[in-house]
């Protein structure tokens, strides 16, 4: 993954043939032309849970048309961090009762969420000049 700075408060990442664009909101000096990096972090949690829920339903031939996930959070203003994330699995009326606990377990398998429980070690290096 290569990250670069195309101007203003924009930070882009080239990864697996895609360019992920981020920007900051206007009050933070950006143009609000793309999600902020933290917004992508939040979206990665919800969409990761989503792929596990979607796969669970597809494997059981449960219609997904009326299914969705809503995510909200409790923000700690003193720490400037989120204390709790709540994912509401909104399932179709015909969703089988016997699968309710299992679909929650499927959502909990999200790889992004699991990385929060067992965070990787970070190593940050500096490389000066283009010959590195």
Render pLDDT for 35-91 as a digit per residue (tens, 0 to 9). 999 999 999 999 999 999 999 999 999 999 999 999 999 999 999 999 999 999 999
Q: What's the pTM value of the predicted model, to 2 decimals?
A: 0.88
Q: Which residues contact 21 (CB under 8 A, 6 or more apart)?
A: 10, 12, 33, 34
In percent, the amount of the chain with pLDDT more than 70 equals 98
Domain 35-117 - what CATH class? alpha beta
State the maximum Cα–Cα separation within the chain, in Å, rounded to a whole number.
61
The three-point CA angle 11-6-19 to 5° equals 60
Domain ranges of the chain: 1-34, 35-117
Whether pLDDT at 131 is above 70: no
């Amino acid at each position: 993954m290569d990250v670069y700075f195309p101007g203003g408060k924009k930070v882009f990442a080239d990864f697996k043939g895609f360019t992920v664009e981020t920007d900051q909101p206007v009050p933070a000096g950006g143009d609000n032309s793309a999600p902020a990096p933290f917004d992508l972090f939040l979206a990665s949690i919800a969409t990761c849970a989503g792929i596990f829920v979607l796969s669970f339903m597809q494997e059981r031939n449960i219609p997904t048309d009326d299914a969705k996930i809503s995510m909200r959070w409790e923000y700690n203003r003193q720490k400037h961090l989120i204390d709790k994330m709540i994912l509401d699995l909104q399932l179709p009326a015909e969703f089988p009762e016997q699968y309710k606990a299992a679909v929650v377990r499927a959502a909990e398998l999200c790889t992004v969420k699991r990385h929060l429980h067992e965070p990787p070690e970070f190593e940050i290096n500096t490389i000066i000049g283009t010959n590195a």
